[in-house]
A and B are shown apart, each in its own frame.
Chain A
């Protein structure tokens, strides 16, 4: 039990995938303009990450390892992730057309989100068990969503604030992200 709590704490705060490991920065900067979009993206990524990390674990353990095909890790994980993302896309398009339209091109781009592949690969390098893999994936997604929501709330306020002309838009966003990253460094050493 504490094991899972430690994994969760580690993935959400200490080794946050976006602010500490610097993975998944594309949707982090691209979708964080509005809070509703960010929440939607967070939900979609959680769905994809959890499912993808479980499926990757299964593929790795039951197909790649017995056939001694570990070198096919990357390509088969990409295959798994692409299928899960496509499935998620169809599901979201059906259940919430508004979210689908709002996310736009960033929904299929979850496939190229290095955080997703990163989780899958880290599960194999760290030799997690099935439950550890799924909790790791879920925690990573929670950390990603947390930071995305915090960042988008800040960006909404920055958009209406008196930002000097050279800093408007992505520039002030990057600076803010850097400051957030500095803040998250404070968690290092916790677990």
Chain B
């Protein structure tokens, strides 16, 4: 058999390569079973990057459903409260390009906002309490409603349902506790560079 094969190249080649392919195929088949991977905890990791405002501007009822949608292939640029930083972080996690924020879903806010109820006009209807996705409004039927400022994410969902329109979105004030130094602006750069402040590696 070996002499026959060594004389005739074509059958030898076919047998050799075919034999190799069979052997390797068996090895890979065994490896595929042995090293099988279940599930994919990517949804958790995506959810951890989203800002948790639960505002619904992305079109999904909360941040976790949107994370699920991204894992199933939806676009990653639909979150205005997260802004470009979140888009970049998600792009880094999924190892894809980081697109611009999709303006169809809203603009990125420069200043953080908090809801404020004008208590003189509140009628105690509980519509805003039912609308708040993080239960940040304290109150009960026919009792005064008030926003717990520390828990409010600025999602805006309470403003619509209010029948007397007594909810304002005000800018969050800087107190002594959360005042920060600012990054010095680069000046005197002798080399022309278009590096944007804050572009990370």
Contacts and interface: CB of A to CB of B under 8 A. Distances in A.
Interface of A: 33-34, 59, 63-64, 66-69, 72, 75-76, 79-80, 83, 86-87, 90-91, 93-94, 97, 101-102, 104, 156, 159-160, 162-165, 168
B183 interface: no
Interface residues of B, number: 32
Nearest to B24: A83
A160 B196 CA distance: 11
Contact of A72 (B13, B24, B35): B13
B28 A87 contact: yes
Given A34-B201, A63-B19, A80-B24, 10 more contacts: A69-B16, A72-B13, A72-B17, A83-B28, A87-B31, A94-B37, A97-B37, A104-B95, A163-B193, A168-B193
B48 interface: no
B162 to A, nearest CB: 45
A30 B95 CA distance: 13
Contacts of B93: 101
Contacts, number: 80
B195 interface: yes
B95 to A, nearest CB: 5
A63 B201 contact: no
Contacts of A159: 201
B9 interface: yes
Contact of A79 (B20, B189, B191): B20
B5 A67 contact: yes
Contact of B32 (A64, A69, A90, A101): A90
